Amino acid sequence: MTLEEILMKAHYPESEEEALTSHKVLERIAAIISVSHLRSASKLPEISRATIQCQSWDHLIKSIPFGLTEEQEAGIEHLVNAFSKPYTSTTLINGDVGMGKSIIYQVAVVAAYKAGARVAILLPNERLALQAYEELVTMWPNVPVLLVGKKTQKDLTNENILVGTTALLFREIGHLDICVVDEQHRFSVEQRKFLANDKTHLIELSATPIPRTQAMLSYGSVNVIKLTKRHCVQDINTYIVNREAAKEMVKHVKELVNSGSRLLIVCPRKEQKLDSEDDMYPMPSVQEVAVKWEKLFPGKVRIMHSDTPDAEAKKSLDDIKEGRASVMVSTTVLEVGLTINGLRALIIVHAERFGVAQLHQLRGRLSRHGGYGVCYLYVPLPIKENTMSRLSAVAATNDGLKLSELDMKLRGFGDLSSKGAKQHGSADSIIYNKEVSIDLLQEMIELLPE
């Protein structure tokens, strides 16, 4: 049967059975096309470029204030070897929150700079950019690093190592040899490609890769540096709590705070906002929640959100870190990167409003130096069964890669073509409004030869 005949039977079937059969054939053809896109997108580009011949990097690790694991050292060697090849590379550094992904690219890009390379490091917010900048200049003070902010000059073509947020996207950067994207899931495909052209080595970091990348990890041949070992042992417990169990939750976190631990409470909104969806059940804001907890811990509560002035945000964080305050109420601005010593309790208010990756990243703020930690997914209102299944999956595992696979199955894997921009959702299919299922994709991968 020809494709034309299949299409005719799909659009003008003579029976219900003929319609179902023809549609199943088209679904398999759509899956075959997705497999082709997946494999072509996973291949190293056949574009030549000048090699970056890094010298030995052993001397660089002497400046690091902690020991590296064998996996981290192997990851550095992997990147340095990739730079030395006469074609561009794309590498994902994958490891759970707190496993030390950043130090791998930091050593590698400093080694590359010493071999003449230009580098840009893209981070999701100013606080993380400042942290990354300070880490680099503290460990290697003789290496020229520029922190790019709102007031930085437009022309950066003569700078060697650039660290910044999306402010980098609005500057004249010039050609980059290496582009690092930290917290990959916070940026669009277009944003990442703006800095990394077809002659730029791309390094991406994530504990929970976006569904498109997870599909390429699971079914393709993306270069990946996988970290599995922590520097310390953590005991993080996650619970789903409804309104009836809220008193017990508050009692437990009060005990932790009174014993010297820090508490982070994350709210879905910085301020009250009524809309058609929430008129009956408005979401609690940072300000409202902070007022309630101030009654329990007078003078010990601080707040933070996207509109908090930098000086005030820094003071709030310093107060928490240095013990002048014990409770931080915030939005997801603290989702990634920042470390708060002694943070052992986390309450995520209306956890159903957050995605799998967000929940896992927030939980990753707990007990960064090891030990006990507790995360409460507070759900005060009834939620749908599929939403409860998503939260239950987050509560059941602390493994970011397993959660990424779940996220991919829940949201779809997006456009797998090499020029694809969709990071999740259904892949572009030959069948209108019909996504390619994960199971069918897996079946076609197993059937089709490389």
Question: Mind listing the pLDDT tens digit for each residue in 179-190?
Answer: 999 876 566 666
200 token code pair: 């730029």
Residue type, 157: T
Residue 425's pLDDT band, with cuts at 50, 70 and 90, is: very low
Shared domain check, 360 and 259: yes
**pLDDT value of residue 8:** 76
pLDDT at 308: 85
Residue-level pLDDT at 416 = 43
* 94, 130, 147 from 60: Cα distances, Å: 22, 21, 21
Tokens read off for 256: 């932790």
Q: What would the pLDDT profile of 283-309 be if each residue is shown by its tens digit?
A: 788 999 999 999 999 999 999 988 888
Lowest mean pLDDT among 27-41, 194-208, 254-268: 27-41
Is the residue at 46 inside a domain?
no
pLDDT value of residue 307:
85
Residue 215 has pLDDT above 80, yes or no: no
Residue 46 reports pLDDT greater than 60: no
Please say if the pLDDT value at position 312 is more than 70. yes
Would the CA dihedral through 123, 125, 128, 133 be positive or negative? positive
How far apart CA 273 and CA 266 sit, in angstroms, is 16
For residues 352 and 269, membership in a common domain is answered with yes
Same domain, 212 and 238: no
Look at residue 418 and tell me whether its pLDDT is greater than 50. Answer: no
CA dihedral angle for residue 63, residue 231, residue 361, residue 315, rounded to 10 degrees? -50
- Please answer whether residues 357 and 330 qualify as being in contact, where contact means their C-beta atoms are separated by less than 8 angstroms: no
Residue 436 domain-assigned? yes
Q: Are residues 355 and 219 located together in one domain of the fold?
A: no
Domain boundary residue, one of 192, 227, 262: 227
- pLDDT for 424 equals 42
Least confident of 61-65, 199-203, 415-419: 415-419
The answer as to whether 402 is a domain residue is yes
Whether 352 maps to a domain, the answer reads: yes
Cα–Cα distance for residue pair 320/264, rounded to 1 Å = 10
- Which amino acid is residue 396, in one-letter code? A
Pair (242, 212) in one structural domain: no
- At residue 264 the predicted structure's pLDDT band, cuts being 50, 70 and 90, is very high
> pTM surpassing 0.85?
no
**Domain extent for 250:** 234-274+281-407
Looking at the structure, do residues 69 and 162 belong to the same domain, yes or no? yes
Q: Say yes or no: 200 and 303 in one domain.
A: no
Residue 17 placed within a domain: yes
Is residue 49 a part of any domain in this protein?
Answer: no
> How many degrees, rounded to 5, is the angle at CA 265 between CA 261 and CA 270?
145
Report if residue 52 sits inside a domain: no
328-362 tens-digit pLDDT: 999 987 756 567 889 999 999 999 999 888 898 89
Regarding whether 403 and 422 lie in a shared domain, the answer is: no
Please count the structural domains in the chain.
3
Do residues 250 and 166 both lie within one domain?
Answer: no
- Burial classification of residue 47, based on how many CB atoms lie within 10 Å of its CB (0-12 exposed, 13-18 middle, 19 or more buried): exposed
- SS3 sequence of the chain: CCHHHHHHHHHCCCCHHHHHHHHHHHHHHHHHHHHHHHHHHHCCCCCECCCCCCCCCHHHHHHCCCCCCHHHHHHHHHHHHHHCCCECCEEEEEECCCCCCHHHHHHHHHHHHHCCCCEEEECCCHHHHHHHHHHHHHHCCCCCEEEECCCCCCECCCCCEEEECHHHHHCECCCCCEEEECCHHHCCHHHHHHHCCCCCEEEEEECCCCHHHHHHHHHCCCEEEEECCCCCCEEEEEEEECHHHHHHHHHHHHHHHHCCCEEEEECCECCCCCCCCCCCCCCCEHHHHHHHHHHHCCCCEEEECCCCCHHHHHHHHHHHHCCCCCEEEECHHHCCCCCCCCEEEEEEECHHHCCHHHHHHHHCCCCCCCEEEEEEEECCCCCCHHHHHHHHHHHHCCCHHHHHHHHHHHHCECCCCCCCCCCCECCCCCCCCCCCCHHHHHHHHHHCCC
For residue 303, the domain's CATH number is 3.40.50.300
The pLDDT of residue 217: 54
Same domain, 14 and 131: no
Statement to judge: residues 27 and 152 lie in one domain: no
* 267 found inside a domain: yes
Backbone angles phi, psi at 232, to 5 degrees: -145, 165
Per-residue pLDDT tens digits for 133-145: 999 999 999 999 9
User: Same domain for 213 and 336?
Assistant: no
Q: What is the mean pLDDT of residues 244-269?
A: 95
